[in-house]
Structures are given as structure tokens and as C-alpha cells.
Amino acid sequence: MKRILNMSNHTLTGEQVAELSGMGYEIVELTAEDKTLWGKLNPSNYKEFTYRTMEDSDTRYDVDAYHIAGFPPAVVNAVCLACTLDMPAFYAYSERVSEEIHQPDGTVKKVNVFKHLGFFNY
């Protein structure tokens, strides 16, 4: 079975896991430390992190593809690295449905529901 690295701040939903499994992928998560770092990327550290995670032979993950989402410059850099490595890079596309719920005290509560619609190649 092929392996895909979830390079995102999110835990994949059951629906997403099922889709990737149907595509022949076993999901690999970032380590807890790398998940924390991915959530704290900024203009001064994203290139080093993506290089270490995807290219450095001592620290890269042993995977066949990437699911990439997060800090936009890191996403662009990671997708470019995936292309140079000739490896697939996917994004998860979701539809957001917002609902406003009027509360008894006169306030309005807004609820967003995300519906996963598929993984697509960058």
C-alpha cells in the first residue's frame, strides 16, 4: 500500500480517510513535534521545515504522496518540492455551509459545517 503524509493542522475525517484508503493510501501523520511546528510556520522558518520534512535524507518521511494544507507560503513551497520529487500532492476540497441560529436572548449564533467533496491534485 502507498503512503501519504498528512501535512496539515487537522486530523482527517473518517470520510477523508476512507477516500484516501480507496485511492490505495495508508495515512502517515506528522510527528507531534512536527505537527506543532507546522502550525507555527512563519516567513522565517517555513522553507527550512518543508526542506527537512520532504528532502533531507536524514529527516524526511518515507511516503509516496502528500496532502498539503496550511500556511500559504509553506503550501506553495511544499507543492513545488513535491513536483521536483515527482510525487503527487493533494488538497482536500470542502464546501462550507453557514447557518445563523437566532438565540432566545436576541444574539445570533453562526455555525459552519464543512462537507468534504474530495481530494484533488495541486
Q: Which three cell numbers stand for residue 74?
A: 509553506
Q: Is the pLDDT confidence value at 58 over 90? A: no
Residue 65: band (very low, low, confident or very high) from pLDDT cuts 50, 70, 90: very high
The helix/strand/coil state of 101 is strand
Residues pairing with 109 in the sheet:
101
Return the pLDDT at 81: 96
* Three-point CA angle 26, 31, 33, nearest 5°: 160
Number of H-type helices and E-type strands within the chain: 4, 5
Burial class of residue 96 in the structure, from the number of CB atoms within 10 Å of its CB (0-12 exposed, 13-18 middle, 19+ buried): exposed
Q: Sheet with 25-29: list strands edge to edge.
A: 25-29, 2-7, 65-68, 89-102, 108-121
Which contiguous run of DSSP H or E holds residue 118? strand 108-121
Q: Which three cell numbers stand for residue 8?
A: 496539515
Gap between the Cα atoms of 34 and 70, Å rounded: 13
Return the pLDDT at 43: 97
pLDDT digits (tens, 9 = 90+) for 84-96: 999 999 999 999 9
pLDDT digits (tens, 9 = 90+) for 4-56: 999 999 899 999 999 999 999 999 999 999 999 999 999 999 999 999 999 98
Q: In the predicted model, what is the mean pLDDT of residues 105-120?
A: 95
Residue 57: band (very low, low, confident or very high) from pLDDT cuts 50, 70, 90: confident
